[in-house]
Amino acid sequence: MIREETVKKSTDELMDLCGMTANIERYAINDGNGVRTTVFLKGCYLQCRWCSNPETQSFFPEMSFFPDKCIACMNCAADCPYGAIKEDLTADREVCSGCHARENAFSCTKKCYVNCRKITGEKMSVREVYEAVKRDIPFYEGSGGGVTLSGGEPMAQPEFTYALARTLTERWISTAIETCGYAEKEDYEKVVPYLDTIFMDIKHMDSEKHRAWTGMGNEKILQNINRVDELAGIYGSKLFIRVPVIPGFNDLPEEIAETARFAGKCRNLTGMELLPYHKLGRGKYYGLGRDYLLESMAPPLAEHMEKLHEILAEYDIPVYKF
């Protein structure tokens, strides 16, 4: 929850507030209008089977290992004081999972000269994030772009997200957010005033099916969408609803139609975007020592996606593709 004492702070005071980032991606073009800088934050309360950023799900730093880059120099095994590196150079994940809190955390990566061991997760202050993104202001001004807060789930670090959004907006940087909607309503009420664009997901209208594929029901998400819709009307934010189209989960015409009926009731909805399933994040799972559960799943065909877009048109919902 965002504390009132945080809200009362000046922007200068917020500069020292810290959060856990996963990555800052420059020149992004799929996370809103224009050229953007996307700030990926760590941590998410959902565990979507298809997540393309599994390295952002945990709230703590994690080590990924990419064996195709490894030259078997054995420096990592020699440098790890906890004996976590096995003979085949993979890591004992039970030992590694708590390494972020240990002295000499992730020492195995410090002499990995080919970068086959990579840490995702860095504690950064609002000031540090701002210094990283402000170099791209000329690109924002020339393209109508800005900064997008993503993840993970940025609202899972609500105070850090609030401080970032407020700092950027008060410095005239257009700010967007990509959120799954699973957060506290009161936090959205504090963050939305500092957002130009809001992307919210509806993964499925059936709560039990939603729970089976993401780990959580959808009641809170749908309630938050209704509230954010009201807030978008008050503050003039653009609200987009995104649907990740996952075969066997939510890709039936009647499932998309049910989502469209719900979205169509939003008075301040700018449009919807259907995102076809892809496997671009598959390698990240193996890097984290995790199985990829959707290995045999194929992306939806272009013809099927076109039919789903036609359903949105039947409900007079504008279709967007960023």
Q: Tell me the residue range of the domain where 66 lies.
A: 62-120
Which strand (E) or helix (H) includes residue 189? Answer: helix 185-191
| Same-domain check for residues 34 and 11 | yes
| Same-domain check for residues 188 and 306 | yes
pLDDT of residue 89: 86
CA atoms within 13 A on the CB side of 58: 16
- The more confident residue out of 81 and 253 is 253
- DSSP code for 91: B
Which strand (E) or helix (H) includes residue 25? Answer: strand 18-28
| Same-domain check for residues 100 and 130 | no
The answer to the question of residue 130 being in a domain is yes
pLDDT of residue 12: 95
Confidence of residue 116 (pLDDT cuts 50, 70, 90): very high
**Percent of the chain clearing pLDDT 70 (strictly above):** 100
* Structural domains of the chain, count: 2
The answer to the question of residue 98 being in a domain is yes
| Same-domain check for residues 26 and 51 | yes
| Same-domain check for residues 294 and 207 | yes
Which residue's entry shows tokens 């004081």?
Answer: 81
Does position 322 have pLDDT exceeding 80, yes or no? no
| Same-domain check for residues 106 and 137 | no
With a CB cutoff of 8 Å and minimum separation 6, the contacts of 146 are: 32, 33, 34, 36, 37, 140, 168, 173, 174, 175, 176, 196
CATH of the domain at 174: 3.20.20.70
| Same-domain check for residues 283 and 295 | yes
Select from 72, 90, 120 the last residue of a domain: 120
Confidence of residue 279 (pLDDT cuts 50, 70, 90): very high
Over the stretch 21-31, which tens digit does the pLDDT of each residue have?
999 999 998 88
CATH of the domain at 87: 3.30.70
> Average pLDDT for residues 54-66, to the nearest whole number?
96
Q: State residue 227 phi and psi, 5-degree precision.
A: -70, -45
Q: How far apart are CA 300 and CA 303, in angstroms?
A: 8
pLDDT of residue 305: 97
Whether the CA torsion 157, 2, 137, 149 is positive or negative: it is positive
| Same-domain check for residues 93 and 214 | no
Using an 8 Å Cβ cutoff, are 40 and 269 in contact?
no
The answer to the question of residue 25 being in a domain is yes
| Same-domain check for residues 85 and 161 | no
Q: Are strands 197-201 and 175-179 parallel, antiparallel or unpaired?
A: parallel
Preceding amide of 142 cis, omega within 30: no
Over the stretch 144-178, which tens digit does the pLDDT of each residue have?
999 999 999 999 999 999 999 999 999 999 999 99
pLDDT of residue 26: 96
pLDDT of residue 90: 87
The answer to the question of residue 322 being in a domain is no
> Mean of the per-residue pLDDT values for the chain?
96
Using an 8 Å Cβ cutoff, are 56 and 46 in contact?
no
The answer to the question of residue 230 being in a domain is yes
Select from 81, 97, 120 the last residue of a domain: 120
The answer to the question of residue 320 being in a domain is no
Give the residue from 162, 233, 175, 229 showing the smallest Cα distance to 202. Answer: 229
CB burial class (10 A; 0-12, 13-18, 19+) of residue 25?
A: middle
The answer to the question of residue 102 being in a domain is yes
Least confident of 65-74, 244-253, 295-304: 65-74
> Average pLDDT for residues 74-81, to the nearest whole number?
90
| Same-domain check for residues 147 and 159 | yes
Hey, which residues does 199 pair with through a beta bridge?
Answer: 178, 240
Q: How far apart are CA 147 and CA 242, in angstroms?
A: 18
The answer to the question of residue 245 being in a domain is yes
| Same-domain check for residues 258 and 162 | yes
| Same-domain check for residues 66 and 182 | no
Select from 120, 143, 168 the last residue of a domain: 120
